[in-house]
Structure 1
Amino acid sequence: MFKSTTSKLALGVVALVVVAGYPAYRYIFGATVVDVDSTEQAQKIEDYANPAAFTTPLQLAKMMKEDDKLIVIGALNPAKGDTPISGSFTFWRGDYSAQKSAYDYGGMRNTADEMEDLLSRIGATPDSPIVVYAANKHHDAARLYWQLGLLGHENVKYLDGGLNAWLGAELPVGNANPTVEATDYVAPNKNETKLATIEMVRNAITDDDWVIIDTRGTDEFDGTSVKSGAYGPGAIPGAVHINWTKAVNEDSTLKTAAELKALYGDLIKGKKVISYCQSGVRSAHTTMVLEEVLGAADVYNYDGSWIEWSHAFYEEGREGIEIMNGGKS
């Protein structure tokens, strides 16, 4: 189902590698091109609990031709130099994250009002069908998916395989961020039904009805490394470690429902779930998988994640906030 392909920019890449080396190639041309069997991909999605939450590159290309109200949003890091899907709009984390003055730490989502303004600028309405995508790891698309859910925007799809699979299907790129007439987007149902707060997490630690999933890398979970933005090493007590990447294939597409049930099913059966990572991005991907692929009913993404929790422990010494796999120096 997966096969790497050679970029049409091969000659330019060779020249760049000669001059600057392979790391520069990965930095500038960050989206790996992958071939995905579209028939198998579509069938896989049909087996998900909510297939309407996902789409394939070929399905998206068809929608873009047939529905002029469709809005496609790429969560793409401009520093990587990825060429966006033609006709899509591009955001990056600074666009949908909280202002620096809003919290004593970073990584939090922006407000619903700020999201409304962002969507108004790209001509969205509450009835607009929206497709989100990213490149390579795709958790940033899941973060946008989650934040749109907090607005109550119902018609949102995640592009399986993202820009990588789109490129593999040789679909058009470039000519992004079209000029459109602004709207006055009003969220249909602002809510926090998919949001975990620090208080919820603290209570869940000692409640057998809950399970907390740490979706970070092993080195973060076991306290041997600390990502920039966090205030010290460690993990939330009692958390079960399942790296979010275990839910995806080598080609970055999602695994089958059967595979994901084998990964998460016994752990979450009969439980309410909180997922967390460094700043609620990777955990948003796990939240989406548990909800939309496996049909879990009570799944919450901890927006503050390790940044907020470590700030509360290391900086504030807040009562009731403890850690494992780390400690105050």
Structure 2
Amino acid sequence: MNKKAMISIATVLVLAIAGFFVYKSMTAVKVADVNLTEQQQKISEYKHPESIITPEELNALLVDGKEDIVVIGTMKSADQVIDGSYVVWRDNYSGTDAFPYGGMINTKEELEAMLSEFGVNQDTTIVTYAANDQHDSARLFWTFKVLGHENVRLLDGGMNAWLGAGFEAGAVAKAGDRPATEYKAADYNVAKYDASLDMVKQAVGNDDYIILDTRSESEETGADTKKGAFGPGKIKGATFLEYKIATKENGTFKTKAELEEIYKDVLSSDKEVIAYCQSGVRSAYTWFVLTQILGYEDVLNYDGSWIEWSYYGYDQKDASVKDLTENGKF
């Protein structure tokens, strides 16, 4: 092997090693410092405290073993997970091929098959959690609500708070760890939780609606286009309220009083709210805050979000979508 080839191989190895450590640093779970007393008091003031669980409460349920409970983490990396939890990623529950664009909720049959494999029954308590950013946990919570599953709870602060509470990471659950079931959804009422494309079109410029853009500022201004979208822009007239404004520095939800101040214009409006982002994940987080924490019932998560909207505007050249888009570059 000549010197030039050896240098090339060495360069590739260095880049591969560097890439590995960059990936590990990006996916590593940051330990969150959470005051248990304050967290429990905060949650008790929420409209639906039964929809949220603390690490201590979850651990107590798992140790006690009397309640049928299945814990599901939503994360790309399974390096640090709650012991015995199942781990899924977006393709597992919002990767249906029924649409020419991605990010849409899976079919009832696909979701039933997933929960059957996890040994879930209709009365099983499902706890969703994520790591470093909790929007995927909220998206999965929203998905199970579409299925009509009653007992769903979101772990406040996710894996970060779990580690911060002194609980260790463990092993991912495998198929067969629980006896498989034949899960049948109590419902699959997408329209109850999701805004359709036509509904969003009708909501633009309509005083009976508030459309919330929960993406980053660069996406909202059209300066940035995330992978999967067909072009830049925003839905015309949408109010910009980035989803993470509802989150404390430690990754847990803010207090009810803080959230009421953030969303005061929404709460005092008595209008129907449609939240959107890139693919209905970050907007599901805002949907969770408004409905489960603040008790504002007239909220829909736009599942298609900017991916669907930009598909019809840019790819399909739908004039009705183009005319209802700001900051677009058609």
Task: Please give the TM-score of this superposition, normalised by the length of structure 1.
Answer: 0.90
Q: Does 1:223 align with 2:222?
A: yes
* 1:137 aligns with one of 117, 133, 136: 133
Tell me, yes or no, if the aligned pair for 1:98 and 1:111 is still in contact at 8 Å. Answer: no
Q: How far off is 1:103 after superposition?
A: 1.2
Mapping of residues 298-317 of structure 1, within 5 Å: 298-317=298-317
SS of 1:320 mapped into structure 2: helix
The one-letter code sitting in structure 1 at the alignment partner of 2:121 is: T
Q: Tell me which residue corresponds to 1:7.
A: none
**Does the 8 Å contact 2:130/2:158 carry over to 1?**
yes
- In the other structure, the counterpart of 1:325 is 327
Matches within 5 A, 1:42-61: 42-61=40-59
1:121-270 counterparts in 2 under 5 A? Answer: 121-178=117-174, 179-192=177-190, 193-269=192-268, 270=270
How much does 1:169 deviate?
Answer: 1.2
- Match for residue 10 of structure 2? none
Q: Is the 8 A contact 2:127 2:152 kept in 1?
A: yes
Deviation (angstroms), 1:64: 1.1
Quote the Cα distance in structure 1 between the aligned partners of 2:83 and 2:100. Answer: 38
The AA in structure 2 aligned to 1:129 is T
Secondary structure of 1:119 counterpart: helix
Deviation at 1:268, TM superposition (A): 3.8
Counterpart of 2:167, as a letter, is L
Q: Give the aligned residue type for 1:181.
A: P
1:83 Cα offset (Å): 1.2
Counterpart CA distance in 1 for 2:102 and 2:267 is 29
Mean CA deviation greater in 247-256 or 165-174: 165-174
The residue number in structure 2 matching 1:273 is: 273
* Residues 123-149 of structure 1: CA deviation (Å, up to 9, x unaligned): 001100111000001100001000000
The alignment's TM-score, normalised by the length of structure 2, stands at 0.90
- Counterpart of 1:287, as a letter, is W
Which of residues 85, 91, 94 is equivalent to 1:94? 91
What is the aligned-residue RMSD (CA, Å)? 1.4
Q: Distance in 2 between the 1:139 and 1:234 partners?
A: 22
User: How many angstroms does 1:176 deviate by?
Assistant: 2.0
Q: Any conservation in 2 of the 1:76–1:82 contact (CA below 8 Å)?
A: no
Does structure 1 conserve the Cα–Cα contact (< 8 Å) formed by 2:260 and 2:267? no
Partner of 1:10: none
Deviation at 1:25, TM superposition (A): 4.2
Q: 1 CA distance for matches of 2:244 and 2:71?
A: 24
Q: How many residues align structurally?
A: 306
Decide whether the 8 Å contact of 1:130 with 1:156 is kept in 2: yes
* Cα distance, 1:109 vs structure 2: 1.2
Deviations 1:303-327 (A, max 9, x none): 0000000011111122421210122
Q: Deviations over 1:175-195 (max 9, x none)?
A: 221422100000112212011
**Superposed displacement of residue 68, structure 1:** 4.6
Contact 1:276 1:283 in 2 (8 A): yes
Q: Equivalences for 1:17-56 in 2 at 5 Å? A: 20=18, 23-27=22-26, 29-56=27-54
Is the Cα contact below 8 Å between 1:211 and 1:268 reproduced in 2? no
CA distance in 2, matches of 1:133, 1:165: 10
Residue segments in structure 2 that go unaligned for 5+ positions in a row: 1-16
* Corresponding residue SS for 2:141: helix
Q: After alignment, is 104-113 or 54-63 more displaced? A: 104-113
Larger Rg: 2
Contact 1:98 1:110 in 2 (8 A): yes
